[in-house]
Structure 1
Amino acid sequence: MVPMGVLVSTATIPSFSTCRPSVPKRRRAAAFSIMAALSNDPVREWILTEGKATEIKRIIPVGGGCINLASRYDTDAGSFFVKTNRGIGPSMFEGEAIGLSAMYATNSIRVPKPYKVGALPTGGSFIIMEFIEFGMSRGDQSVLGRKLAEMHKAAKSEKGFGFDVDNTIGSTPQINTWTSDWVEFYAEHRLGYQLKLVLKKFGDSIIYEKGQRLMKNLRPLFEGVVIEPCLLHGDLWSGNISADKKGNPVILDPACYYGHNEAEFGMSWCAGFGGSFYNSYFEVMLKQPGFENRRDLYMLYHYLNHYNLFGSGYRSSAMSIIDDYLRMLEP
């Protein structure tokens, strides 16, 4: 989804094909100037105490998105990456931190280690995490595919499908109530929730009613499929994928939950996954029968979310997928 803050130095910002607009640089710089002037600054306080720094040498605004502001803090104890949001409380960043910690613990693909989440005294919230300096490219697609599959294979949940907390997909709430049945979880907490938002925001009863019909007819797509609750990044598009200076793949800005591993590819229309990515991935994670027939179903969740976040430009893609599946699945 939205690039909620890209961990890069200003000298090595990679070129991403973005799927949506970013915040103007002057606005980002102004916001950080205001924050830097605050005497009661919990970000500075943490860095100069628990972060073990004695001096903050400079604060550099770095690539951000249209939801959060992002900054690199250079100190005598190293660099830290900080995201702030002036309008949303700590719950959004708390969900991100829990997801990052879960992925970090798998010791598979590289993710930034989260350090601290808190509230800003003037309203809003922040998250402090490890700063990872990116290389000049997004790295090797085959390595990305293998490392992502290793994460999916390493982290499974005994609670079923969901997550310990609700989080966000962009700025949209993502409901992660534990559910034992994947089809039920995906229908209700992914497609169903987005469809309700579409109806509420746009009064779009046509896509809502067709989407409801699709939700009731999903099971044939999963016949003969073994579905395990794997830890998913949840929002894997090009802006959330990079590589460090050594070429190791890095993923960031997650919307984590435990789900069917194929759902990880729901943003593939904006991720640039190629053949080498999928070949490497399926060498580690078994390719299930009917995979190609489910690809668009997992894209639908993200198209609906883009519709809700950015308007009707994404409606036709979502409607086309729904209509195609209804023709396939309804008697």
Structure 2
Amino acid sequence: MMATTHVGFLSFGSFLPLPSRISFSKRRTFAMAALSDDPIREWILSEGKATHITKICPVGGGCINLASRYGTDAGSFFVKTNRSIGPSMFEGEALGLGAMYETRTIRAPRPFKVGALPTGGSYIIMEFIEFGSSRGNQSVFGKKLAEMHKAGKSSKGFGFDVDNTIGSTPQINKWTSNWIEFYAEHRLGYQLKLALDQYGDSTIYQRGHRLMKNLAPLFEGVNVEPCLLHGDLWSGNISSDKNGEPVILDPACYYGHNEAEFGMSWCAGFGGSFYNSYFEVMPKQPGFEKRRDLYMLYHYLNHYNLFGSGYRSSALSIIDDYLRMLKV
């Protein structure tokens, strides 16, 4: 999602062990965290294994969070803060980063700590990865992403353990056993309701609901398994480390149909070598081409709700094309 914070990372030599559960300051411990003048510094100088912080450098990013690099004698850490939003947003990001990291496939920053700021707001501390000079090899990226989808499975169905955000829009991840139901209700339906509430757009709402009720023919002969998705994979969230290995960041993770990962392909720059390598690991299923725009629709609707009418025509055109195709 194009409004998220996108920055460079720098790796540090000795990694901290990734705990079985990421360290969160839950509400019952927020009072304790508030006793510290600077919980970020406190964590870095204790659990972060640093003895002193050498410098703190602001890092350029988007319009949602502030980002900084903390240089220490134990290496560098990347810290994002938000002075107006509680820890739940960063908890969702950390759980997603941790889930991707634990697949041991494509590289993602390791999350270390999420907590509340004493003066209000929240923070997340994570690994700092040194970016290379390019986005890396598309063929390698396609293979690594497919390996993540193949390795990251859920026995709970489609969804995620927490709701998170797509840009600044809430993303509902309630566990659902049926993919068509999940995508219709928690992806398209949620965005269509936002458009109705925000703009009074009954046209896109009504036509969108007609499409929601008639998705089944697009999935005939398709075996949909819940795969771990980055969820917001556009060019700003894709990079490579200093060795040229692909890196993905700023996720909006959930478990869903692997094809939904390509919903931001209209601004991700995926080429033929990417798809060829991807489908060698995750074979293309029948009707892939017919479903591509369906997954783009979610993101066009989200951009419409976030940035205004410039994205409305694209979203409505996709809806109308499917209504004609499905003859409903």
Secondary structure (helix, strand or coil) at the match of 2:96 reads: helix
Distance 1:239 1:61 in 2: 18
Deviation of the 1:7 alpha carbon? 3.7
Q: CA deviation at 1:196?
A: 0.5
Are residue 47 (structure 1) and residue 40 (structure 2) matched? no
Q: Deviations over 1:274-294 (max 9, x none)?
A: 000000000000100110000
CA distance in 1, matches of 2:240, 2:312: 33
Shift of 1:102: 0.6
Which digits, 9 at most, give the CA deviation of each residue in 1:127-167, with x for residues without a partner?
Answer: 00000010000000000000000000011111111111111
Equivalent position of 2:60 in the other structure: 63
The structural deviation recorded for 1:5 is 2.9
Q: Partner of 1:298 in structure 2?
A: 295
Q: 2:135 aligns with which of 129, 133, 138?
A: 138
Which residue number in structure 1 is paired with residue 144 of structure 2? 147
Per the alignment, residue 308 of structure 1 pairs with 305
Compute the displacement of 1:63 (Å): 2.4
SS class of match (1:297): helix
- Of 169, 174, 179, 1:172 maps to 169
Rounded Cα–Cα distance in structure 2 between residues aligned with 1:215 and 1:60: 47
Give, in whole Å, the separation in 2 of the partners of 1:63 and 1:181: 40
Distance apart, 1:3 and its partner CA? 5.2
TM-score, normalised on structure 1? 0.90
- Which residue is 1:34 aligned to? none
Tell me the residue number matched to 1:28: none
For residues 246-302 of structure 1, the C-alpha deviation after alignment (integer angstroms, 9 at most, x for no partner) is 000000010000000000000000100000000000000010011000000000000
**Secondary structure of the equivalent of 1:184?**
helix
SS at match of 2:243: coil
1:227 to 2:252 alignment: no
Partner of 1:322: 319
In the alignment of these two chains, the number of paired residues is 303
Whether the 8 Å CA contact 1:7–1:132 is kept in 2: the answer is no
How far has the Cα of 1:122 moved from its partner?
A: 1.4
* 1:221-243 CA distance string (max 9 Å, x none): 00000100000000000010000
On the 8 A contact 1:3/1:64 being kept in 2, the answer is: no
- Counterpart of 2:302 in 1: which secondary structure? helix
Structure 1 Cα separation of the partners of residues 296 and 6 of structure 2: 23
Q: Secondary structure at the match of 1:324?
A: helix
TM-score (norm 2): 0.90
Offset, 1:123: 1.2
1:119 counterpart residue number: 116
Q: 5+ unaligned residues in a row in structure 2: which ranges?
A: 11-35
Pick the aligned partner of 1:86 from 83, 88, 93: 83
Q: Distance in 2 between matches of 1:6 and 1:168?
A: 15
Are 2:271 and 1:267 equivalent residues in the alignment? no
SS in 2 for 1:148: helix
In 2, Cα distance between equivalents of 1:3 and 1:203:
24
2:244 pairs with one of 244, 247, 255: 247
Q: CA RMSD in A?
A: 1.2
* % same residue: 82
Deviation at 1:9, TM superposition (A): 6.0
1:75 aligned onto 2:88: no
Alignment map for 1:271-282 (pairs within 5 Å) = 271-282=268-279
Task: Give the Cα–Cα distance (whole angstroms) in 1 for the partners of residues 285 and 320 of structure 2.
Answer: 24
Deviation at 1:66, TM superposition (A): 1.4
CA distance in 1: counterparts of 2:76 and 2:292, whole angstroms: 39
Give ranges in structure 1 of 5+ residues lacking alignment. 11-38
